[in-house]
A and B are shown apart, each in its own frame.
Chain A
Amino acid sequence: MELFANLGLGLETAITPVNLLYALVGVFLGTAIGVLPGLGPAATIAMLLPATFVMPPVTALIMLAGIFYGAQYGGSTTAILVNLPGETSSVVTALDGYQMARQGKAGRALATAALSSFFAGTVCTLLIALFAPPLAEIALQFGPAEYFSLMVLGLIASIVLAHGSILHALGMIVLGLLLGLIGTDVNSSTQRYTFGLPELSDGIGFVIVAMGMFGIGEIVANLENEATRDVTIKKVTGLFPTREDFRRMVAPTLRGTALGSILGILPGGGAALASFGAYALEKKVSRNRHEFGKGAIEGVAAPEAANNAGAQMSFIPMLTLGIPSNPVMALMIGAMIIQGIQPGPSVMTEQPALFWGVIASMWLGNLMLLVLNLPLIGIWVRMITIPYRYLYPMIVVFCAIGVYSLNNAHFDLYLMALFGVVGYVFKKLDCEPAPLLLGFILGPMMEEFLRRALLLSKGDPTVLVSRPISAAMLALAAVLLTLVLLPSFSRTREQAFQDD
Chain B
Amino acid sequence: MRIRAEKDFWAGFLYLAIAAGFLWLGRDYRLGTASRMGPGYFPLVLGWILFAFGALSLLRSFWTDGERVGGIGFRPLVAITLAVIAFAALVPTAGLIFALPALVVISATASRQTVYDLRSALALIALTVFCILVFVKGLGVPMPILGSWFDGLVPPSWQR
Write the residues of chain A forming the contact surface with B, with a CB cutoff of 8 angstroms: 51, 54, 165, 167-168, 170-171, 174-175, 177-178, 181, 185, 187-188, 190, 192-193, 216, 219-221, 223-226, 228, 387-390, 392-394, 396-397, 400-401, 404-405, 408, 410-411, 413-414, 416-417, 420-421, 424-426, 428-431, 446-447, 450-451, 454-455, 457-461
Contact = CB atoms under 8 A, between A and B. Distances in A.
A229 B39 CA distance: 52
Interface of B: 7-8, 10-11, 14-15, 18, 22, 25-26, 29-30, 33-39, 42-43, 46-47, 49-50, 53-54, 56-57, 60, 67, 69-73, 75-77, 80-81, 83-85, 87-89, 91-92, 100, 103-104, 107-108, 110-115, 123, 127, 131, 135, 139, 141-143
Contacts of B43: 178, 181, 192-193
Nearest to B120: A390
B37 A454 contact: yes
B50 A450 contact: no
A220 B84 contact: no
B50 A216 contact: no
28 contacts: A54-B139, A165-B8, A171-B50, A178-B18, A178-B47, A187-B37, A188-B30, A188-B39, A216-B84, A219-B80, A219-B110, A223-B75, A226-B111, A392-B107, A393-B104, A393-B108, A396-B104, A397-B131, A410-B92, A413-B87, A417-B81, A447-B42, A450-B37, A451-B37, A455-B35, A457-B35, A458-B35, A459-B34
Residue with the greatest number of chain B CB neighbours at <10 A, chosen from A187, A388, A410, A460: A410
A170 B60 CA distance: 15
Contacts of A192: 26, 29, 39, 43
Contacts of A424: 73, 77
B25 A400 contact: no
A389 B114 contact: yes
What is the interface of chain B mostly: helix, strand, loop, or mixed?
A: helix
Q: Which of A387, A388, A429 has the most CB of B within 10 A?
A: A429
A417 B85 contact: yes
Contacts of A396: 80, 83-84, 103-104, 107
